[in-house]
Amino acid sequence: MVKNIGFISTRFSGTDGVTMETSKWSEVLRKIGHSCFWFAGELERDPQKSFLVPEAHFKYEKNQWINERIFGHKVRSTAVTDIIHDLKILLKIKIREFISQFNLDLLIAQNALTIPLHIPLGIALTEIIAETQIPMIAHHHDFYWERTRFSVNAAGDYLRMAFPPNLNNIEHVVINSAAKEELALRTGISSTIIPNVLDFENPPEVDEDKTIAFRDSLELGPQDRIILQPTRIIQRKGIEHAIDLVEDLNDPRYKLVISHEAGDEGYEYAEWLQETARERGVDLRLVKMRVSDPINNKENNKDKPTLWDIYPHADFITYPSLHEGFGNAFLEAVYFKKPLLINRYATFVRDIEPKGFDLIVMDGFLTKKNVQSVKEFLKSRKRKERMVNHNYEVAERNYSYAILQRGLNNILINFFGMKV
């Protein structure tokens, strides 16, 4: 039986991990015949299936005002509490309208009940779920207790209530084994692990004209070679290690390209990276245009470049993250059969590394051995092909759409007695 499914978050736009993983979920659900609808403060989706609520964005002015007075403080004023509840009431009204307008059978909260960037939205969702008993999947990407920035706060009551809520009509999904264990330990909530995935059954479709146009937009010459850092510009991505690598390669042909925008967590880190690159003599190129979600590109402005236009011309991928809930950029590099350097962040060590990938790994710092390995890969086509083909096969077994569909099957059987 076909179901109407509503996705809810603060934004579904751009190329952040939550937005892109949601696109994959909706693609799997739509292929089976279900209808997907969208609720957020920023949307790049089919307008006919979208419910835009600017107040739901984590950058909404009142929400930012709330966050400035809650995080880093231990006492909350009455005025802050009142604003939280006023915004919660407005969002509850909008969520009810969303459910009614599209006759929704199921809600899927994408990180909105996980990380408290928008506390009023989390409370509103929790109360709606309790009041309506509508089935919900809460898809958790990164919990507040995983981030230092939320460790001092004046909202412990709200965090215990809604991030995440412990209600009978919610099925909780996490993306790694540590999150599953910590969620159970802290809240008693059981959850299902569904890792991030890509459509490994179908290799990527590459538009040669768009990839060449994108390369040209970076003002790269035919002799230039791209070392790609395919992440947002935020501190936990460890991008300074990519600068170290390019410096140590000591070859002016290699340009470090960062594919995503800065701004989600301020611009200071981006400015520091640019200054560091200049001091080290590293040619750092930042993508100046907004890059769109390749999986959802049919419903976006088709003139925009997507991530899939960036990867084909990359000679090597750097992924020196200090912390990741899973690691979309890792899967994307494997999907495009690119060699990569990866830092052994906790989720990688526990959940990904045991699968048997062939990678260049660093353990918190870049070594001379790492640099020498990268140089060898850049010179040896045979070694590169052996690595990338092996990695693609491992990923197809472990991180394909079939894995996602199987996980969703089990959850929908629990709710409706039906398969996806």
Q: Which secondary-structure segment (H or E) carries 319? A: strand 314-319
Residue 65 falls inside a structural domain: yes
163 plus 270 within the same structural domain:
no
In a domain, 202, yes or no: no
User: What does the buried/exposed string (b/e) look like for 27-46 if buried means 16 or more CB atoms within 10 Å of the residue's CB?
Assistant: ebbeeeebbbbbbbbbbbbe
Residue 90 structural domain: 4-197+401-416
Q: Are residues 248 and 277 in the same domain?
A: yes
Give the strands of the sheet with 35-40, arranged side by side. 50-52, 35-40, 4-8, 106-110, 136-140, 170-174, 192-193
Do both 172 and 302 map to the same domain?
A: no
168, 94: one domain: yes
| Cα–Cα distance list, 328 to 18, 71, 189, 198, 380 (Å) | 10, 28, 26, 9, 26
CB of 152 closer than 8 Å to CB of 72:
yes
Residues 318, 278, single domain; the answer is yes
pLDDT of residue 263: 67
Whole-angstrom Cα distance, residue 104 to residue 124?
Answer: 17
Alpha-carbon distance of 316 to 374, in angstroms, equals: 8
Packing angle of the helix pair 368-379, 381-398 (nearest 10 deg): 100
Provide, for the chain, the percentages of residues in helix, strand and coil under a 3-state DSSP scheme, each rounded to the nearest 5: 50, 15, 35
pLDDT (0 to 100) of residue 154: 97
| pLDDT, position 302 | 62
Direct distance between the N- and C-terminal alpha carbons of the chain, in angstroms, rounded to an integer = 9
347 and 407 together in one domain = no
Question: What is the torsional sign of CA 416, 417, 418, 420?
Answer: positive
Cα 325 to chain centroid, rounded: 9
The sign of the dihedral angle between the CA atoms of 158, 159, 162, 166 is negative
What pLDDT was estimated at residue 276?
95
Residue 154 included in any domain = yes
Q: Give the CA distances from residue 392 to residues 148, 203, 357, in Å, rounded to whole numbers and listed in that order.
A: 35, 10, 9
Q: What is the DSSP letter of 18?
A: H
Q: Look at residue 279 and tell me if it is in a domain.
A: yes
Report yes or no on 76 lying in a domain: yes
Query: What is d(CA 90, CA 94) in angstroms, rounded to the nearest whole number?
Result: 6
β-strand partners of 7: 38, 108
DSSP 52-121: E-GGGSTT-HHHHHHHHHHBT-S---HHHHHHHHHHHHHHHHHHHHHHHHTT-SEEEEESTTTSTT-HHH
Q: In this structure, are 301 and 170 located in the same domain? A: no
Query: Which residues, in sequence order, are CB contacts of 317 under 8 Å at separation 6+?
Result: 227, 228, 229, 230, 329, 333, 338, 339, 340, 341
Flag whether 203 is in a domain: no
How far CA 100 is from CA of 48, 88, 97, 105, 171, in Å, comes to: 15, 18, 5, 10, 22
Structure tokens at 350: 């526990």
Same domain, 234 and 288: yes
Closest CA to 255 of 287, 225, 212: 225
**Does residue 172 contact residue 343 with C-beta atoms inside 8 Å?**
no
Q: What's the total number of domains in the chain? A: 2
Beta-bridge mates of residue 399: none
Dig out the tokens for 387 from the structure. 């690595």
Residues 219 and 143 reside in one and the same domain: no
Rounded mean pLDDT for each run of 10 residues along the chain, 420 residues in total: 94 89 95 94 95 97 97 97 98 98 98 97 98 97 92 97 97 96 97 96 87 84 92 91 96 91 76 94 84 68 76 94 91 95 95 96 95 92 93 97 94 81
Residue 264's region, left for phi above 0, alpha for psi from -120 to 50, else beta, is alpha
Same domain, 411 and 390: no
The DSSP symbol for 10 reads S
Per-residue exposure over 362-386, b if at least 16 CB sit within 10 Å of its own CB, e if not = beeebeeebbebbeebbeeeeebee
Are residues 52 and 120 both part of a single domain? yes
CA 349 – CA 305 distance, rounded (Å): 33
State the Cα–Cα distance between residues 298 and 312, nearest whole angstrom.
20
Q: Is 177 left (phi over 0), alpha (psi -120 to 50) or beta?
A: alpha
State pTM to two decimals: 0.90
Residue 146 lies in a domain: yes
d(CA 267, CA 286): 13
Within-domain flag for 187? yes
Q: Specify whether 133 is located in the same domain as 228.
A: no
CATH number at residue 264: 3.40.50.2000
